């Protein structure tokens, strides 16, 4: 008697084609996506519909979409194990978002913290899409009957202001490490990272936020425990410590960068992934949307 294999739960996550992904994005989310492919039915999405809630240059958005697909593949997203697609190529997202809009109240959306923060940057001319983006997020998740939406665990902080989260939009480029920074730049940024005058390497976020942040980055890159890192750099200065962190991160990212640049030269392959995987995503999404359309009263022939 044969037993059927258990149906894998569905994991869904998306990332905007912003053009600059940091080690915070990688260690906090993307690295875990690669591991999840083995245990879940995984859908990973380049959310270009979400991206246009802020003003975009069309040519730049198109280019960054290709770059995002290439980078996710280079990081280890396997098109044989996961569905990797572009959000705007699956029209079910937009249709379900509109249907959900018609059952969503203005008061609910106006209380969203992110809307309050982002709307301040747009001044008086606030776009409806920015106000409404949580509805699209709900549609993204519901379409695939998602079981799990992973949230980044590693909280990588700014190299210059370790009390703040590392951000790709930081005006100070020394504050973050881009996944595409070359090795010399990476080492240089770590050498300039803010620490303290104590010169002892141990983990204490309140007393030593800069050193603690570097230790957590080193731990993410090497898999070593914080205790092991403390022992490794016992009696050594911050110069040796920062150099080790910088070189380790650079070595970790180099093969990813090489594969990314190779894939960018394979435009036809990237487009094939986009089209084939959009169709796969659409087939799943339509199962949910067709039920919603029936409940609403739409005619489907």
- Looking at the DSSP bridge assignments, the partners of residue 176 are none
103-126 burial by CB neighbour count: b if 16+ within 10 A, else e? eeeeeeeeebeebeebbeeeeeee
Q: Is the dihedral of CA 93, 89, 75, 157 positive or negative?
A: negative
Catalytic annotation, pick one of 9, 81, 168, 280: 168
- What distances in angstroms separate CA 228 from CA 168, 196, 201, 214, one per listed residue? 30, 21, 11, 14
- Ramachandran class of 19: left when φ > 0, alpha when ψ lies in -120 to 50, beta otherwise: left
* CA atoms in the 13 A half-sphere facing the CB of 40: 22
Catalytic annotation, pick one of 8, 9, 31, 118: 118
Q: Which residue has the tokens 């039915």?
A: 41
Query: Exposed (0-12), middle (13-18) or buried (19+): which is 299, by Cβ within 10 Å?
Result: exposed
Q: In angstroms, rounded to a whole number, what is the distance separating the alpha carbons of residues 24 and 21?
A: 8
* CA atoms in the 13 A half-sphere facing the CB of 134: 15
Supply the angle between the helices 92-101 and 128-143 in degrees, to the nearest 10.
110
In 3D, which of 222, 230, 232 has the Cα closest to residue 203?
Answer: 230
- Phi first, then psi: give them for residue 117, nearest 5 degrees: -70, -50
Q: Catalytic annotation on 165?
A: yes
Catalytic annotation, pick one of 9, 165, 191, 224: 165
Q: Catalytic annotation on 153?
A: no
Q: Catalytic amino acids?
A: 118, 165, 168
């Amino acid at each position: 008697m044969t037993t059927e294999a258990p149906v894998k739960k569905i994991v869904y996550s998306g990332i905007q084609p912003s053009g600059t992904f940091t080690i915070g994005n990688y260690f906090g989310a993307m690295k875990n996506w690669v591991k999840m492919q083995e245990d879940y039915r995984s859908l990973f999405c380049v959310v270009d519909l979400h991206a246009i809630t802020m003003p975009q240059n069309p040519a730049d958005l198109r280019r960054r979409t290709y770059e995002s697909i290439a980078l996710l593949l280079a990081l280890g997203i396997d098109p044989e194990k996961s569905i990797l697609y572009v959000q705007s190529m699956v029209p079910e997202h937009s249709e379900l978002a509109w249907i959900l809009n018609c059952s969503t109240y203005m008061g609910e959306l106006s209380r969203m913290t992110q809307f309050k923060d982002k709307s301040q940057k747009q001044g008086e001319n606030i776009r409806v899409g920015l106000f409404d983006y949580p509805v699209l997020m709900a549609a993204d998740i519901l379409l695939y009957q998602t079981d799990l939406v992973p949230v980044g665990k590693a909280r990588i902080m700014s190299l210059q202001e370790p009390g703040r989260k590392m951000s790709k939009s930081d005006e100070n480029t020394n504050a973050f490490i881009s996944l595409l920074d070359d090795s010399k730049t990476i080492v240089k940024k770590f050498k300039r990272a803010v620490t303290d005058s104590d010169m002892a390497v141990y983990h204490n976020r309140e007393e030593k936020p800069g050193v603690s942040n570097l230790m957590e980055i080193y731990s993410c890159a090497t898999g070593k425990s914080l205790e092991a890192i403390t022992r490794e750099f016992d009696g050594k200065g911050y110069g040796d410590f920062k150099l080790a962190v910088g070189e380790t991160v650079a070595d970790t990212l180099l093969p990813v960068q090489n594969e990314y640049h190779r894939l960018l030269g394979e435009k036809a392959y990237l487009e094939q992934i986009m089209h084939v995987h959009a169709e796969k995503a659409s087939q799943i999404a339509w199962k949910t949307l067709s039920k919603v359309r029936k409940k609403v009263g739409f005619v489907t022939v």
